[in-house]
Structure 1
Amino acid sequence: MSTASAAQIIDGNALSAQLRTDVARRTTALKTRGLTPGLAVVLVGENPASQVYVRNKVKACTDAGLHSVLEKYDATMTEAELLARVDALNNDPAIHGILVQLPLPKHIDDHKVIEAISPAKDVDGFHIASAGALMVGEVGFKACTPYGCMKMLDSIGMKDLRGKHAVVIGRSNIVGKPMAMMLLAANATVTVAHSGTADLAHHTRQADIVVAAVGKRNVLTKDMVKPGAVVIDVGMNRIPEGEEGAGKLCGDVDFAGVSQVAGYITPVPGGVGPMTITMLLVNTLEAAERDADQRGLV
C-alpha cells in the first residue's frame, strides 16, 4: 500500500529563506539611513529548550545583518531586577525590539514582564496593546507564529480568504487567539475549537483551512479532514519511547494520514518553526523602520 503524500508541502525553510533575503535587503537600506535594527534577547535561567531557541534567534539576526544583544541571567534573578533591565532596554535607542524568552522562573510573573516591555518594542506581539491593535485592526506587532502561518497561506495564493472556512484548534494567547483574529482580518469565517469543543471532527471536516495548535500529537487525523483542505501544523512534540521514531519531532497532525487527503500541509520540523523566527526579524526591522521615519532619517 502506497503512503505517498497527495498534499503539496508548504516548505517553511524555503519560504523563510526568501523572506530573510528581503529582511537583509531592507536592513542594508536602513543602514544607509544611519540606523541599524537592534534586537535584545533576554534569557533567565537554564531551560535547555529556551537556550536552543535563543541561540537560533540571535544567529538569524546576525545572518540578516541586524544588531543582536543576548543577555543571559541566572535563575536567581529577581522580578524587580528583570523589570529594571527591561526598562533600561526600553530607553536604549540602539534597541528596537525586546524579546524576553518564556517561560520565566516561577518566582517571576510572565505577564508583568511582558507588559513592562514598551509596545513600540514588543516584537513578540504579546503585549496587551499589540493584542488590542490586532483585535481592532490598528497598526501593531503581530504575534510571530500566527503571522508566519499567514505568510504561508499567502505563499500558496490564499491572501484573501473570503468564502473560506478556517478552524483553529487551540485558544492560547500566543497562537490560537491571534491566529483567529488574523484569519478574520483576511475575510475567513473562523471557528475556534478547544478542549471544551464537542465533536471536533464535525468542525474540521467542514474546514477549508485547519490550524492545529494545541501541543498534542494526532489531534487531527485523516478522517477529520476535508479533501483538498490546507492544514497548518503549529504543534511541536516528541514521539515517546517505545514507538517507531522515538525521540523525533512531530506536530499535532498525523502527517502520514492527513497528507493523503489534504491539498497542502506543513511538515514538522521545517514548517511553521522557521517562520516564527523569520517573523521576529520582520517585526524588529519594522520597528526600526518606524523609528527611522520618526527621527526623519533619509
Structure 2
Amino acid sequence: MRTGLKHDVVYSFFDPEIGVLKEMIALITPDHVGMFRESYGSILKMVFRLTDSDRSAIHTLLQFYDPGLRCFVFPDYLLGPLMEDYASMLGVQIRDQIPFHVTRAEPDVLGISRALHLSPEMVKEGLKEKGKVPGFHLSFLEANAKEHAAMGNWKTVCALIAVGIYGIVLFPNQKNFVDHNAIRLFMQRNPIPTLIGDVYYSVHNRNEKRRGGLVRCCAQLLFRWFMGYLPSRGAFAHLDPSVKWSFRLMGLRANDIAWTHNGLAGRDFICSCGSLPNVPLVGVQGCINYNPVLLRRQMGFA
C-alpha cells in the first residue's frame, strides 16, 4: 500500500439483479450456445453475483492503487488490467476504430433494429427513459427474448440476451435498465477500450483523494481479472477463507504471481499511442490514461 496511509478507504460496487438475465440465458438451447459465443464472445461468464468474499478481495485490491502510476502497487510487483487481459477473458477482439464516446444524440432506431433483429416499430415502442436517459427496461428484453425463443428466432434471442448483459453487468448504470450508452457499445462491438477506461477512471476518481464510494465499472470483470493472477495452488490456495485478504496479499511475492496464465506471453500489446508514452482511454464515466509499459510482465516480458 502507499506509505503514510493509516486507514482503509471504503468502496462499494454495483450489485446487479441477475435473476432475469439468468432466466433469459436459460432460453438458449445447447445447440445455440456456440452461435452466441461466436457473435458475442464469452460474456455469459460475467453473469454472476459477487459474494462477500469476492467484494472483500476487490476492496482490498483497491487499497493498493497508486494514482500516479495508474496501477496497483504491491510490495514486490505491479499489477493492472490491460486491454489484452480483458479481451482474452471475454473472447472479444480489440478493434481498430474510433473510441466510443458518450453522446446526447437520439437513439438510432434503425441501427438498433438491425443489431437486435427486431422491427423498428418494436424498438421504438420499447425505448423508454429512466433518469432522463433513453434505453430498454430489462423486462422488455426478457419478454421479447421469450417470444422469439418460442418462434425459434435464435439470432434475436442471442442479441437480446447480449445487450442485456452489456447494460446490466458490463456497463451498469440504472437498475434493471439497459441505457443508450450500453446499447451503442453493444452495436459498436468494441467494448474492451471502454471497459478498461471505466475501471481506471472510476478507481482513480475514487482513490485519488482517498474518498471512496461507488466504483462505477464492471466489478465482476475486475474480480475475475485479479483472481487470474493469484496462485491457484500451494499454500496461498489453501489458506483458510477466514484469513483477511490484506494478510493474504501482503504475503505474496513476484514469483508467486501467475504472470502468464492468460496465454498471451510474448505477444504484441498496446503500450503507447503515437508519440505518447502511455495510452489514453475514453470510458462512459470519463477520460484517463494508463501505463501498460509498467505492466509488461503480465505479457511475459521481464
TM-score range with shorter-chain normalisation?
under 0.3
Higher percent of residues as helix: 2
> TM-score if structure 1 supplies the norm length?
0.25
> TM-score if structure 2 supplies the norm length?
0.25
Higher percent of residues as strand: 1
